[in-house]
Amino acid sequence: MTRSISVLLAAAAALLPAMPASATLIGDAVVIKRIQGVDTVFKTVSADVGSNAEYVDNFFTIDITENEVRFDTFGNLSLGQIAYTIDGLDFDDNPATANTIESFFSKQIFRQTAGFPPIDISNVTISPSGQLRVSFANTTTGPDGFVSVTLGAATPTGVPEPATWAMMIGGLGLAGAASRRRTRRATAVHA
């Protein structure tokens, strides 16, 4: 009986995955495009996310870190129909889980409309395939202007992982073994 419990526990331990690495964008191969007008690609840069800025043009420097994409301006600018797309972002390195926008922050980047309201999260989208799009259409920037987009991964729902099943089956096996043992003791006492 003790041997069967040991075998069940060993099987469950073997199915437990190794401790997952923390989710990060570091190492992702990305393609960054500056789009002008409706869909005219003005500049395309391929880069691996690492320690340096991944993209620089005369409007923005784009730096991608563990979970953040940051757009820093070069000063007081007035932008027309400009957007940036970044393909290849996969926060948890699992194509089955979509990336999510966890937070958005903008400083000194304003819409060119009455009252000059700051841009907000409505200027940002991320597709299930990991394409981030940030629109700076008709905006004005200040000398310290930047946008920060923090990414995360959607929490998957549905089928439990194999380790969860193993732990559940092992637990049921232990409960069954304990019940069987109690039944044997009760039978022995009554006999």
Residue 66 has pLDDT above 80, yes or no: yes
Q: What is the pLDDT of residue 31?
A: 96
Output the pLDDT for position 170.
78
pLDDT higher than 60, residue 69: yes
Per-residue pLDDT, averaged over 70-98, amounts to 89
- State the number of CA atoms in the 13 A half-sphere of 82 facing the CB: 17
d(CA 20, CA 182): 40
Q: What is the pLDDT of residues 4-37, one digit of tens each?
A: 656 555 655 555 544 344 578 888 899 999 999 8
Q: Residue 34 corresponds to which amino acid?
A: R
Supply the pLDDT for residue 158. Answer: 60
Of residues 160 and 25, the one with the higher pLDDT is 25
Is a pLDDT exceeding 80 seen at residue 40? yes
pLDDT at 18: 41
- Burial (0-12, 13-18, 19+ Cβ within 10 Å), 186: exposed
Q: Summarize pLDDT for 97-155 with one digit per residue, the tens.
A: 888 899 999 999 999 988 899 999 999 999 888 899 999 999 999 999 999 999 988 76
Give the separation between CA 166 and CA 177, rounded to whole angstroms. 16
d(CA 107, CA 118): 8
Q: Which of the residue ranges 29-33, 82-86, 88-92, 121-125 would you say has the lowest mean pLDDT?
A: 88-92
Q: Take residue 158 and report the two structure tokens written for it.
A: 């549905």
Q: Which two tokens stand for residue 69?
A: 């994409």
